[in-house]
Amino acid sequence: MSDDRFKAIGMGDITMPGGWSVNDGQTFLYTDAEREIMHQSRAFAQREILPLAAAAHAQVKEIKTRHDGKVRREKLRAIARDYLRLLGEAGLTGALFPEEYGGNGRGVLAECIIDEELAAAGHPGDTIRSVSLTLGTISILRYGTPEQKKRHIPPRLRGDELAALAITEPQIGSDTSRMQTKAVLKGDRWVINGQKRFITGGGLADYLTLFAITEEGAHPHKGMSTFIVPMDHPGVTIQRQLDEVIMADWMDNAWIDFKDVDIPRDNLLGPLNGGYHVLMDELDTERVTYCMAALGSARRALEIAAEYSTKRIQFKQPIAMFSSSPSPCSKVCPSSWRRCTRRWTPPASSSTAPPRWSRRGSPHSASRR
């Protein structure tokens, strides 16, 4: 099809504006300052991260195919650290953390905006970023001693230390209150025994934020505590990398065993037997930030679909024009789909004029006319 008949959409055209309501009223939900954060993080993610993402995925896949055990973990860890360092230098890692610990204190909404933009750029290290900086570290900020905060938060924001969150066990998933991993105080050391499964980034982490039962027989909400556990400690072993949980080019998910892991008493995080509240507070932040990351990934999928379906020609027209093609995309987010595509106007039967694309309207609506 010649250019005068069809103008395909390129990635530059279709990157969607953030912060719009999903309704047709097109109300901006963000303040000017928040929009500025969105523009900055989007520009960085699109310019600096997106071009690296495909090669990084291929590299991760190759490492996972060729290497096992410690070598594999070291190689994957290097990719995750490089990614975090890049983000740290750009000031994109510290929104949840105050300046005194190396952050910028811009808050949870800023973190959400950044999460969406980074997820849309699709680097494999981004799962490690969220487990290390949000899931594994936010409880240290909220419940840690000044020493714990000073020791762990700044190196994590720089990408020098990686963390993961360990809640799930082979026998417990949604019902976190029934966990079986136990920590017993012996002298001035906590001794941990149990298993944690499905731990994202567990194989790459330097430390886990781990939940364990500290008072058996108490109500589960009142007998759980939180610990900072070094992964290189004797008794901590990776039983298995769970590659079946995640795709081959994602980074890491681990099943970890703890056998008589004795850590200093000071590694208790937050109040003794107050772990359930620490956990619920962490999940509150995790849920909202992960939602935004999911939104970013979905947005990227929609952008790719919009680009492909306006470039792919079958039966002399872009496949976006066939009634079935745009439907899934336009159902995911009708207003975004409308914004990221242009309406193709078929020539009037009596006219010899070429078909036109306009900025407004959707292929879906065009196909229904």
Is 282 or 307 the residue whose CB approaches ligand FAD more closely?
282
Distances (CA, A) of 37 to 71, 100, 129, 159: 38, 21, 18, 21
From 193-201, 221-229, 267-275, 299-307, span contacting ligand FAD (CB under 6 A): 193-201
Q: Tell me whether residue 9 or residue 208 sits nearer to ligand FAD (CB atom).
A: 208
How far is it, in rounded angstroms, from Cα 114 to Cα 41? 6
Which phi and psi (to 5°) does residue 79 adopt? Answer: -65, -45
φ and ψ at residue 289, rounded to 5 degrees: -70, -35
Minimum CB distance to ligand FAD, residue 199 (Å): 5
C-alpha dist (Å) from residue 71 to 200, 206, 275 = 18, 15, 34
Smallest distance from ligand FAD to CB 8, Å? 35
The answer to whether the beta carbons of residues 215 and 178 sit under 8 Å apart is: no
Contact between 168 and ligand FAD per CB under 6 A: yes
User: For ligand FAD, which stretch binds (CB under 6 A), given 77-85, 115-123, 158-166, 271-279?
Assistant: 158-166
CA 197, distance to chain mean position in Å, is 19
Q: Which is nearer to ligand FAD, 220 or 361 (CB)?
A: 220
* C-beta of 88 vs 203, nearer to ligand FAD: 203
Taking 3-state DSSP, the helix, strand and coil percentages for the chain, each rounded to the nearest 5, stand at 45, 20, 35
Which residue number, 253 or 285, has a Cβ lying nearer to ligand FAD? 253
Q: Which of residues 309-368 bind ligand FAD (CB under 6 A)?
A: none
- Sole window of 11-19, 50-58, 161-169, 340-348 interacting with ligand FAD (rule: CB under 6 A): 161-169
At 264, which helix (H) or strand (E)? Answer: strand 253-264
Query: 51, 107, 173, 328: which one contacts ligand FAD (CB under 6 A)?
Result: 173
Q: In the stretch 219-258, what mask flags binding to ligand FAD with x, by CB under 6 A?
A: --------------------------xx------x-----
Q: Are 362 and 302 a contacting pair, CB within 8 Å?
A: no
Q: Of residues 76, 120, 167, 302, which one binds ligand FAD by CB under 6 A?
A: 167
Figure out which of the listed residues 2, 174, 324, 351 binds ligand FAD, where binding follows CB under 6 A.
Answer: 174
Which of 6, 198, 258, 276 touches ligand FAD by CB under 6 A? 198
Query: For residues 17 and 173, which CB has a smaller minimum distance to ligand FAD in the complex?
Result: 173
Residue nearest to ligand FAD (CB): 173
- For residue 329, report the phi and psi dihedrals to the nearest 5 degrees: -65, -45
Three-class SS of residue 307? helix
C-beta closer to ligand FAD: residue 163 or 305: 163
Interaction of residue 131 with ligand FAD, rule CB under 6 A = yes
User: For residues 172 and 180, what is the distance between their CA atoms, to the nearest angstrom?
Assistant: 8
Q: How many residues bind ligand FAD (CB under 6 A)?
A: 14
Q: Which stretch binds ligand FAD (CB under 6 A): 16-24, 53-61, 114-122, 198-206?
A: 198-206
The CA distance from 72 to 153, in Å, is 26
Sign of CA dihedral 261, 264, 265, 270: negative
How far is the C-alpha of 224 from the C-alpha of 271, rounded, in Å? 10
- Angle at 228 (CA atoms; ends 222, 231), nearest 5 degrees: 130
Q: Between residue 30 and residue 49, which ones bind ligand FAD under the rule CB under 6 A?
A: none
Task: Pick one of 200, 289, 336, 362: the residue that binds ligand FAD (CB under 6 A).
Answer: 200
Half-sphere exposure at residue 37, Cβ-oriented, CA atoms within 13 angstroms: 24
| Other residues' Cβ atoms within 10 Å of the Cβ of residue 306 | 26
Considering the complex, what minimum distance in angstroms separates the CB of residue 136 from ligand FAD?
8
Residue 109 in the binding site for ligand FAD (CB under 6 A): no
Strand partners, 274: 224
Residues binding ligand FAD (CB under 6 A) = 131, 164-168, 173-174, 198-200, 245-246, 253
